[in-house]
């Protein structure tokens, strides 16, 4: 699912990640992190460290579907420098286990890990 341009985008440590979820009342919520904190697993899950992300976690307890945008201004896109990807899929928060430990080893501040399982990945710019 992940092509070379996507992998280059994720490698940009200054790139941004946004996670969009929806509350029970239908209100959108967006939480952000940096590309440099992401871990891609061999089975194409994306791990994100969490210290905050409390509203996102609450929202995903009701509806696990989220949209994630990953961007970089350093990677060649469709129309010049800069590219971004829209991913859709399911989010799960873990406080223990091998995926949490892997994330915590990279980011000691993480008290949870968001495990994102993408269903689609589309380059938008």
pLDDT digits (tens, 9 = 90+) for 24-68: 999 999 999 999 999 999 999 999 999 999 999 999 999 999 999
Question: For 36, which DSSP code?
Answer: G
What is residue 117's predicted lDDT score, i.e. its pLDDT?
98
Is residue 78 over pLDDT 90? no
Q: Which residues pair with 40 in a beta bridge?
A: 46
Residues in contact with 73: Cβ distance below 8 Å, sequence separation at least 6, in sequence order: 12, 14, 15, 81, 82
SS3 86: strand
Q: What is the DSSP string of 68-85?
A: EEEEEEEEEETTEEEEEE
**Containing H/E element for 55?**
helix 54-62
């Amino acid at each position: 699912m992940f092509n070379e341009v996507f992998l280059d985008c994720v490698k940009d440590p200054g790139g941004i990640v946004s996670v969009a979820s929806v509350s029970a009342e239908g209100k959108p919520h967006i939480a952000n992190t940096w590309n440099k904190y992401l871990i891609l697993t061999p089975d194409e899950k994306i791990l994100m460290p969490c210290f905050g992300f409390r509203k996102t976690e609450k929202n995903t307890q009701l509806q696990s579907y989220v949209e994630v945008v990953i961007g970089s201004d350093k990677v060649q896109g469709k129309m010049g420098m800069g590219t971004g990807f829209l991913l859709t899929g399911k989010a799960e928060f873990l406080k223990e286990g091998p995926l949490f430990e892997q994330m915590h080893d990279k980011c000691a501040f993480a008290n949870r890990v968001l495990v994102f399982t993408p269903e689609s990945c589309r380059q938008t710019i």
